[in-house]
Amino acid sequence: MNRMMQILTALVSGAVFGLGLSLSGMLDPTRVRGFLDVGGGWDPSLAFVLGGAVMVAFAGMAMRRRLQHPAFDDSFNLPATTPIDTRLILGSAIFGVGWGMAGLCPGPALASLSLGLAPVVLFVGTMLAGMVVHDRLVPKPMTPTPVVGAS
């Protein structure tokens, strides 16, 4: 029963997330590019979406601190804290450039698949291919790599 509730909770959470992306305009690449174009015709409306997301995350983290464990699991499964390193900075830069060029990032791209648009299908396909290539070609570091120029 517990596993079924975990799956149901994940399904409902994903559906709410996708609905929120759709209602906020995050599925429209031109709108996202307009938000990222701070030097041109900047569209600040998505700043409210990001601000709302930060508030929801803040509330969730505050609730987590008060709970012994989640409702449908024995413990919280949080990522390990790792230092900022070169791989993180390069990955963030690649993500940002891709987001700016395509106007899509992974979450909205997956939600946009429901629209059946060829550019979105191409984006998700190449995103998945890039993940596979990365996992096959880039070795996992044994220890975090230091940031160039960091002390």
**pLDDT averages per 10-residue partition of the chain, 151 residues:** 86 89 84 83 87 92 90 82 86 88 85 87 92 88 58 48
Q: Hey, where are the domains in the chain?
A: 1-78, 82-151
Sequence-ordered list of residues with C-beta below 8 angstroms from that of 22, at least 6 positions apart, any chain: 111
pLDDT for 35 equals 84
Residue 64 C-alpha from the chain's centroid? 20
What sign results for the dihedral spanned by CA atoms 105, 109, 43, 17?
negative
First-to-last C-alpha distance (Å) of the chain: 50
Contact call for residues 15 and 9 (beta carbons, < 8 A): no
Calpha distance 37→42 (Å, rounded): 5
Q: Which helix (H) or strand (E) holds 127?
A: helix 118-137
